[in-house]
Amino acid sequence: METSKSDVVERPHLPRGRELAKTLTGIRGLDEITRGGLPRGRPTLVCGGPGSGKTLLALTFLVNGALLFDEPGVLMTFEENSEEMASDVASLGFDLPELIKARKLAVDYVRVERSEIEETGEYDLEGLFVRLDYAIRTVGAKRVVLDTIESLFAGLKDDAVLRAELRRLFRWLKDQGVTALITGERGDGALTRQGLEEYVSDAVILLDHRVHDQVSTRRLLGRAVAGVLGIE
């Protein structure tokens, strides 16, 4: 997923009446097959199994936004802190601390350990919205990544509350006008464990990694609603 300004593809022209506002990812190949990038100002779900490249794709989207398109970003992570994230991608040439220092990136690590939480009253994401709003305003973010969303709901027993809060989260992201990538673990018989795809009305990207006869194959599948991704 190494990119440079020369790798960025121009948005292909669509017939009048079909043009959709897109945000270039700067990832060669992805911008081509999506005919110009991801739906601007809307959430896109990226799902896949462990090691499929969800986090790497999401971080590349943020770093390219800051370096190539002057679009600051926010990374909200629920599994690794900023130091661990920076270490993970340093070998790829991504200098997250420098981007944070330049106020082109904000990283917020939200630790959610259900075994340490005592439920009293209703579960909601109001605190998350406050933290996200602060991070977005601090750097003037145009791009947001949430990695990995299931961690927010680990151990939550009430499915009705889960569905309601997911709808509210995706609606809130749309209202902020940011282009968001939400990563999720692939489920059994469904794209994600929690059925997140039901709440993303815009686009879903599935990353798949398979090994057969010692041959490793990676695939990217796109599912769009009303042709938002532009994949045919």
Instruction: Enter the tokens of residue 221.
Output: 């599948």
Q: Please give the tally of structural domains in the chain.
A: 1
Does any domain span residue 202? yes
Q: C-alpha 27: how far from its chain's center?
A: 14
CB 213 within 8 A of CB 75: no
Does any domain span residue 34? no
* Distance in angstroms (rounded) separating the CA atoms of residues 183 and 120: 28
* Distance in angstroms (rounded) separating the CA atoms of residues 229 and 206: 13
* pLDDT for the residue 125: 83
* pLDDT for the residue 9: 44
Does any domain span residue 22? no
Structural domain of residue 73, as residue ranges? 43-114+121-224
Does any domain span residue 77? yes
Does any domain span residue 180? yes
Does any domain span residue 108? yes
Phi first, then psi: what are they for 210, rounded to 5°? Answer: -130, 145
CB 47 within 8 A of CB 191: yes
Q: Look up the CATH number of the domain holding residue 144.
A: 3.40.50.300
Does any domain span residue 60? yes
* pLDDT for the residue 160: 77
* Distance in angstroms (rounded) separating the CA atoms of residues 232 and 228: 11
- pLDDT tens-digit readout, 20-65: 799 999 998 999 988 899 999 999 989 888 888 899 999 999 999 9
* pLDDT for the residue 183: 92
In this prediction, the residues of the chain whose per-residue pLDDT falls under 50 are 1-2, 6-14, 16-17, 117, 225-228, 230-232
Instruction: Enter the tokens of residue 93.
Output: 């040439």
DSSP of 147-168: E-GGGGGTT---HHHHHHHHHH
* pLDDT for the residue 14: 46
Instruction: Enter the tokens of residue 213.
Output: 């006869």
Count the helix, strand and coil residues of the chain and give each as a percent rounded to the nearest 5: 35, 20, 40
* pLDDT for the residue 162: 75
Does any domain span residue 9? no
